[in-house]
Amino acid sequence: MVSETVARLREATRDEHQRLEDSLDIFTRVSRPEGRRRLVERFHGLHAGAERALSPLLSSVEGLDYDARSRMPFLAADVSALGGDPARLTECDIERPASLGEALGLFYVLEGSTLGGHVIRKRLEAGGDTARGLGFLDPYRGEVGARWRDFLAVMERDTPTDAARDQAVRGALTGFGITQNWLCAPAEAA
């Protein structure tokens, strides 16, 4: 059964999610070495900025295990594996969310991408691609479903009111907008 918070988030972000998926065109971008490296570098900048903005609000949330969900170690290793230098990359400038609800909504976008990342990795590998430099897409491997359910339980618990759910939707919409603008910037398209 889908919780009220998750149902609201899915409904409110459906169009933004599809727009991001369509414009990102991840399989085309990762099919070429330069496109793969540039995309991973952009993801590095996105997650660096998001983790900086979210950490003050989410690192102490009971049951979230926020620090263990960081994708930065994976992204740094992926950038290096693809010939880039993580220390030289630009960080996406993301403002700290105004509330816990907004922070959870923004994190919903980032954490939700682990579900898609798991599918992307499997599809690449099934097509004979090693998925080299894309470890950040599927950091939880076989635990992705369990980790997602744990996150949703925290989300539901910590957005118990309509006002908190509205904040979560606002954060998720902001998250999709930031992600779209950062990853799909014309100058960065590869």
CATH number of the domain where residue 157 is located: 1.20.910.10
Domain count, the chain: 1
What pLDDT is stored for residue 1 in this prediction?
A: 61
Q: What is the mean pLDDT of each run of 10 residues along the chain (190 residues)?
A: 85 96 93 94 98 98 97 98 96 98 98 94 89 94 94 96 97 98 71
Displacement of CA 128 from its chain's centroid (Å): 25
| Residue numbers of the domain that contains 111 | 4-188
Longest dimension (CA), the chain: 47
Q: DSSP characters for 18-43? A: HHHHHHH-HHHHHTSHHHHHHHHHHH
Distances (CA, A) of 188 to 40, 114, 144, 183: 11, 22, 29, 7
Phi and psi torsions of 75, nearest 5°: -65, -40
d(CA 104, CA 151): 9
First to last CA, the chain: 40
What pLDDT is stored for residue 131 in this prediction?
A: 84
CB 165 within 8 A of CB 4: yes
Q: Is 70 helix (H, G, I), strand (E, B) or coil?
A: coil
What is the pTM for the complete model shown? 0.94
What pLDDT is stored for residue 188 in this prediction?
A: 43
What's the half-sphere exposure (Cβ side, CA atoms, 13 Å) at 65? 13
What pLDDT is stored for residue 169 in this prediction?
A: 98
